[in-house]
Amino acid sequence: MDYDIKDKGLADKGLERIEWADGFMPVLSQIRKHFKDEKPLKNLTIAACLHVTTETANLMRTLKEGGADVTLAASNPLSTQDDVASALVDRFDIPVFAIWGAEKDKYYSHIRSVLNHGHDITMDDGADLVSTLHKESPEELDKVIGGTEETTTGVIRLRAMAKEGVLGYPVIAVNDSMTKHFFDNRYGTGQSTIDGILRATNCLISGTNFVIAGYGWCGKGVAKRASGMGANVIVTEIDSVKAIEAAMDGFRVMQMKEAASIGDIFLTVTGNKWVIHRDIFLLMKDNAIVANSGHFNVEIKIEDLEDMSVSKREIRHNVTQFTLSDGKRINLLAEGRLVNLSCAEGHPAMVMDMSFANQAYAAVYLKENASNLEKKVYVIPEEIDRDIARVKLKTMNLKIDELTPAQRDYLNSWGEGT
């Protein structure tokens, strides 16, 4: 079996951590049992490019139990957990191409290795796999029955491809399932971002001015948690509706250039580029902390920071301290990459359970329906999404009310009024 990982000797530790996460992924475990009996993914090769975490390992095991031939590459050089990669290779015979800290060339060579193994289905987090396949091997596109995409950022890229007419096969936007973005983006990013900032800096959140750029589902999640820990949250936005939402949720809303001189901690979570740049760095206070939780490392313009600085040093693991000519220090976490996955372990298994249940069902859906799908971006059917919610609720021992026949009729009628 071909693979490229850091050290096969880390498998024991990786396995324990994978099993620990599995204990918080009851929906995915049930799917795995069902997949073992039914083999719904038999004869399919799945090329995956996801963060190599304990939760992803449980998804890979599930797809394999379903009969798929799966290979995995990392979707970010700093999110790879080397012990998990090792356990996947050594204990589950799943080829993995991922090493923490891989340089750009290595990162893409890993993606190519996964694609070379075969790809009836592509499974992506950020669309690097899909875009590499489209750019480098367009002749292969017709062989793909479909793809899945995990993140908001990836879905934006894929919709742009579909709009331009260049998307080569149908893709399911897993991100857009209710059981994905309502929970993973909000509670997952909310908690794991704070976790990453704390592990990297050990700073006190309470009493800080915590500036959050972007008030989408992820930004909302981080704002609530930072506020719950006593931070004075400031939100910056480019969307007028989201800005009103932030204001009515009780946060201060202002332009980044105004927030720049007030903030102690800055977090970008916009999905866009160059949200924090030279003019903003110049206004920052001494010792400001700057981090990103958006998918790509383009939200903070690091080139500007490099250019403005007279020196830099790694003052703590995952913290680069830049010193400007006037002596001001700016602390950048995880090279501007996803702080929640680089400085912590990503979203907790409890929310990834639903996200990855969607991934597993999306693969089956593609297998069963590919011939009826166009080269477009689709959302998973609502019955599947709601079914995942029903099972999750059951595993949480929560019961909800049911509509009575009279209520059902009422909802389907228009005759009754005042």
Binding site for ligand ADE (CB under 6 A): 50-51, 53, 55-56, 188, 341, 346-347, 352
Q: Which helix (H) or strand (E) holds 255?
A: none
Nearer of residues 236 and 355 to ligand ADE, judged by Cβ: 355
Q: Is residue 250 helix, strand or coil?
A: coil
User: What is the smallest separation between the CB atom of 209 and ligand ADE, expressed in angstroms?
Assistant: 26
Nearer of residues 352 and 388 to ligand ADE, judged by Cβ: 352
Sheet bearing 252-253, strands edge to edge: 252-253, 232-236, 209-213, 265-268, 288-292, 329-333, 319-324, 309-316
Nearer of residues 15 and 288 to ligand ADE, judged by Cβ: 15
User: What is the smallest separation between the CB atom of 56 and ligand ADE, expressed in angstroms?
Assistant: 5
- Which of 190, 107, 374 is closest to 366 using CA atoms? 374
DSSP annotation of 287 reads T
Total count of residues recorded for the chain: 418
Q: Is residue 399 helix, strand or coil?
A: coil
Nearer of residues 59 and 234 to ligand ADE, judged by Cβ: 59
Q: For residues 216 and 174, give the distance between their C-alpha atoms in angstroms, rounded to a whole number.
A: 17
Q: Which residues partner with 72 through β-bridges?
A: 48, 96
Nearer of residues 200 and 341 to ligand ADE, judged by Cβ: 341
Cα R_g (the chain), whole angstroms: 22
User: What is the smallest separation between the CB atom of 315 and ligand ADE, expressed in angstroms?
Assistant: 26
User: What is the smallest separation between the CB atom of 341 and ligand ADE, expressed in angstroms?
Assistant: 6
User: What is the smallest separation between the CB atom of 383 and ligand ADE, expressed in angstroms?
Assistant: 25
Nearer of residues 169 and 183 to ligand ADE, judged by Cβ: 183
DSSP-derived secondary structure for 81-128: -HHHHHHHHHHH---EE--TT--HHHHHHHHHHHHHH--SEEEESSSH
User: What is the smallest separation between the CB atom of 381 and ligand ADE, expressed in angstroms?
Assistant: 23
Q: Which residues partner with 29 through β-bridges?
A: none
State the residue number with the nearest CB to ligand ADE. Answer: 346
User: What is the smallest separation between the CB atom of 189 and ligand ADE, expressed in angstroms?
Assistant: 7
Nearer of residues 264 and 353 to ligand ADE, judged by Cβ: 353
